[in-house]
Amino acid sequence: MLLLVGVLVLVLAALVRPQLADARSTRVSLVEQIDDYRAETWRWQKLMRAPRTRTSYSERKIDSGTYRAWVRDLWHKRALAAERRAASPPHRSQWLCIHRHERHPLQGWATQTGNGYYGGLQMDISFQRTYGSEILRRKGTANNWSALEQMWVAERAHRSGRGFQPWPNTARSCGLT
């Protein structure tokens, strides 16, 4: 009889613990998802040099699954909006025109011809250090950067007052001078 009671207690404990574990893992999962969407939002904002969306980290303070799900959905929407904005740099069509003239036809945005210029917009190391130092440190030269990263770095140079001067012949060919 004692053995039967012991087995029954173990079975009941096994049934109750997964529910507690599920609640904890749901909380952790929601917080992790929020962290991921927040990081993605901030990554796009950093690339665009846009102000970082502020946060109070309230999902860690308020013990409500419904609230955490709402915060997760909010950061997801923010990440998507930031990605949409980043996908359209202000001079996107001009950068694409310069890219058509500057890239190696078989390498595209990953162009590396050994001439001291890198990527689909053919940026030298000095240019990359000046306008894209954090990406250069993280990913190496521009031939390793995404097309959007290259365009936003070029956009930073443009905004600094350089315009399309770093690409004089190509800019002329594209009707930008």
- 12-33 pLDDT, tens digit per residue, is 666 666 554 455 566 679 999 9
Residue, of 16 and 117, whose pLDDT is higher: 117
Domain boundaries defined on the chain: 22-86, 92-173
Q: What's 60's DSSP letter?
A: G
pLDDT tier for residue 171 given thresholds of 50, 70 and 90: very high
The predicted model scores a pTM of: 0.79
For the chain, the farthest-separated pair of C-alpha atoms sits apart, in whole angstroms, at 94
At residue 109, the 3 state secondary structure works out as coil
Q: Which residues contact 166 (CB under 8 A, 6 or more apart)?
A: 123, 127, 154, 157
Q: Are 117 and 125 spatial neighbours (Cβ–Cβ below 8 Å)?
A: no
**Looking at the predicted structure, is the pLDDT value of residue 49 above 70?**
yes
Question: What pLDDT is attached to residue 20?
Answer: 47
CATH topology of domain 92-173: Lysozyme (1.10.530)
**153 CB contacts (<8 Å, ≥6 apart)?**
123, 127, 128, 131, 132, 135, 142, 145
pLDDT of residue 103: 96
- What average pLDDT does the segment 141-158 reach? 98
Confidence of residue 76 (pLDDT cuts 50, 70, 90): very high
Q: Is the pLDDT of residue 177 over 90?
A: no
